[in-house]
Structure 1
């Protein structure tokens, strides 16, 4: 019989059982050079592959004409785009609520980012299949590649989880998800806190004091094996976190008031808004948990828009517009809440997604799986008016298209994008190769993290 140490069993138990709902108390090691003051990063994963080409649209004359020519069935008219002053780009009209954040200098644009194992040109992509990400354009694989930052191998842990490994933490873990248990959150030692987007946590049982007594007996009893003792420790940790988080999530703070539709005053009810509201509440209560650094995972699904992405006869409306509208309202409310807390420069929210969509729309008024994509970064003291990366040549079959439908080769690697946020968050140069496994490729030979923060 194989001997399982108490520490290893505790980790397995949390991963397989209680961690799915509650995670475990942080047991990390030293976090490299975090700097002074509180900081939090909030990753918003858009599951299904967001069409970033309609989220951010070129507005300059020739660039917009090329956009219309190549996008065809899904191209937005000028009336469907809200220009972002000085950028040469505009947001989908459904995201108009984010334009004031751009005007404040608190939003940055990241163009044509995606998963890459190594720098590629179209010629090397075609001649060197060994340099391509594995199973490119597969939902599950590309979600894993984004979150794990290994583009050619299986990812069993992710960048937030590995960051957690390097943090000195106790009590409620500082890596928290309201968007489900995902690869991004899992460390090699540490596990996240995974919480619901609605409701409160509670214990069920007719006699909790009797249950506690039994657990304590298991934990401290002589002659009992590691499995029994670690199970008891796991349950005790989970119960302690239940009490700590319920005390925060079960009460109203100041941030909830900002999660309303500015046009109607009605409370925002989308799931992504509920998740971000809870993130705001956990940030507001950071001192309760003793957190000086926090990392959050939020998600929104429904972006696999092969058909009905836009409405027939009204391309400004449709499935994609509805999703982007909910996302923008939630992000705008979240930013206002951070402003009210005086933390708008201490918290960075940023988008991620499986991949982009084909530039050319299809006959079903949708778009198909592609590669490079555009993203938004909000708060954190980003460079005002910042536009990072290079927008691809929109010519179908052109220099940046690996197909004939507008599947654009990324010009910015996920490591260059997320690495910039991780450095801002406080990850030291010494720890970056651990948190970002392919960091050496993207921090040399003229490559490096984007200058998101100046």
Structure 2
């Protein structure tokens, strides 16, 4: 684990100057890059089918996989083998294979919400009676909260991204290019939610171009005056600080956020990296647009202040209960989602490399849960538990991590015992807490901070890091 050194006076000054002009800060960029780190969370809403994301290729396990998966089994020859391992990526993720070959992609097997390490015997004996079994398993809304909050409290009000921003005293809240997710919430802050390229950011009618009209200028002055008044409650003061920060940032970031590929002032290095996804001056996919925005913001990172930042992006549509293969398992419904994911991640990584930030940014996936190993009667898969996730970046120690489940319905990793419940819903062998702690440890979080951010982490003893960074 790398721990960052105390912030120097010069860096503090750079952070304090963060709301100055973008151009004036350009010389600081390279100086700050050396000690800059950012995490980018990509949440796959609906529950991505990890069983078809990373597939075993050795004869025994591929045979077990193909037999159970039947019509949803990917042909062995279509898989993109990961180096010299016995596993391959879904062919739709082909854009990520070069990153694995370069040692910049890690696969974390069978991770999910856990209160503490849990065996099948313990799970069957507990039957939800104690904290040992996470609440509301297999439910979208609850499991999204458990992943985004890194807790086993489905009522958790805060996300682990938001708690991290607070505990590490980051200069900016979680920066979301993918809407107002639970991940970015802290006790007193919400994420900074930014729109896509081409969209305006700021109060309607109160942008730089609008306030030439006297009534608008007076309106803006009045709002600023209200936001500057202190209150006798912490919550009101926190809200006012957010208002002030939002106004300053909208003035600062508005033109950058709105800029589309090829427009005046756009960064050619970023545009070139995203070229495979650009059509007629627009980034053509949902996740591509979000990560294009993240790349632009990382390029001007000093504007947002601080040398640690956390980003949130997301892609929906993964609740594939029916017709998961679509017209073809290699290029149909689930494949199209994975292609959008893989292509956007590859373009984003290329942009980071061009910006000299490849080592400074780590991107990782999260999702509601895995899906059943056994398909259902509608040609789809149902809600499960443990899942396989991807982590990429220049600081990543490429490879396969964790324990791949035994591919046996009713086996040691399947929650089911009776025939009707033998569906291959894997009990996780690594927790969301350990996954988050590995990422945050790389960011420089101390053990005390990790325990504060991730209350269940102590239940895993010395196994606090999963080793992929």
Which TM-score bucket, shorter chain as reference?
0.7 to 0.9
- Determine if contact 1:180/1:195 at 8 Å carries over to the other structure: yes
Structure 1 stretch displaced more, 197-206 or 387-396: 197-206
- Determine if contact 2:81/2:87 at 8 Å carries over to the other structure: yes
- Determine if contact 2:277/2:283 at 8 Å carries over to the other structure: no
The CA deviation string for residues 110-143 of structure 1, in whole angstroms up to 9 with x for no partner, is 0011111121111111001222110001000000
* Residue 293 of structure 1 pairs with residue 311 of structure 2: no
* Residue 89 of structure 1 pairs with residue 87 of structure 2: yes
- Determine if contact 2:103/2:396 at 8 Å carries over to the other structure: yes
- Which residue number in structure 1 is paired with residue 222 of structure 2? 214
- Which residue number in structure 2 is paired with residue 237 of structure 1? 245
The CA deviation string for residues 257-278 of structure 1, in whole angstroms up to 9 with x for no partner, is 2113289999641111100110
- Which residue number in structure 1 is paired with residue 159 of structure 2? 158
Structure 1 stretch displaced more, 57-66 or 259-268: 259-268
Query: 1:84 and 1:436 mapped to 2: Cα distance?
Result: 32
Query: 1:291 and 1:387 mapped to 2: Cα distance?
Result: 32
Query: 2:223 and 2:313 mapped to 1: Cα distance?
Result: 33
Note the C-alpha offset of 1:375: 0.6
1:430 is paired with a residue whose SS is helix
For the aligned residues, what is the CA RMSD? 2.6
Note the C-alpha offset of 1:321: 0.4
- Determine if contact 1:38/1:292 at 8 Å carries over to the other structure: yes
Query: 2:366 and 2:110 mapped to 1: Cα distance?
Result: 12
- Determine if contact 2:162/2:173 at 8 Å carries over to the other structure: no
Query: 1:228 and 1:53 mapped to 2: Cα distance?
Result: 47
1:261 is paired with a residue whose SS is helix
Structure 1 stretch displaced more, 97-106 or 35-44: 35-44
Number of residues of Structure 1 aligned to a counterpart in Structure 2? 413
- Determine if contact 1:37/1:292 at 8 Å carries over to the other structure: yes
Flag structure 2 segments of 5+ consecutive residues without an equivalent. Answer: 1-18, 20-32, 206-212, 260-265, 417-421
The CA deviation string for residues 141-162 of structure 1, in whole angstroms up to 9 with x for no partner, is 0000011111144110011111
- Which residue number in structure 1 is paired with residue 426 of structure 2? 408
Query: 1:229 and 1:415 mapped to 2: Cα distance?
Result: 32
2:276 is paired with a residue whose SS is coil
- 1:135-174 alignment, distance < 5 Å: 135-170=136-171, 173-174=172-173
* Residue 193 of structure 1 pairs with residue 192 of structure 2: yes
* Residue 318 of structure 1 pairs with residue 337 of structure 2: no
- Which residue number in structure 2 is paired with residue 6 of structure 1? none
- Determine if contact 1:159/1:435 at 8 Å carries over to the other structure: yes
- Determine if contact 1:268/1:330 at 8 Å carries over to the other structure: no
Query: 1:450 and 1:216 mapped to 2: Cα distance?
Result: 47
- 1:119-138 alignment, distance < 5 Å: 119-129=117-127, 130=130, 131-138=132-139
TM-score under structure 1 normalisation? 0.85
- Which residue number in structure 1 is paired with residue 468 of structure 2? 452
Residues 57 and 208 of structure 1, relative CA distance in 2, 3 Å threshold: same
The CA deviation string for residues 366-398 of structure 1, in whole angstroms up to 9 with x for no partner, is 1000011111100041113x2111000011111
Which of 433, 437, 443 is the equivalent residue of 1:425?
443
- Determine if contact 2:188/2:238 at 8 Å carries over to the other structure: no
- 1:34-183 alignment, distance < 5 Å: 37-129=35-127, 130=130, 131-170=132-171, 173-183=172-182
Structure 1 stretch displaced more, 226-235 or 138-147: 226-235
- Which residue number in structure 1 is paired with residue 412 of structure 2? 399
TM-score under structure 2 normalisation? 0.82
- Which residue number in structure 2 is paired with residue 4 of structure 1? none
Residues 256 and 126 of structure 1, relative CA distance in 2, 3 Å threshold: same
- Determine if contact 1:85/1:103 at 8 Å carries over to the other structure: yes
Query: 1:146 and 1:97 mapped to 2: Cα distance?
Result: 26
Flag structure 1 segments of 5+ consecutive residues without an equivalent. Answer: 1-24, 26-34
2:363 is paired with a residue whose SS is strand
The CA deviation string for residues 247-298 of structure 1, in whole angstroms up to 9 with x for no partner, is 3223422313211328999964111110011011110111233331110010
Structure 1 stretch displaced more, 81-90 or 38-47: 81-90
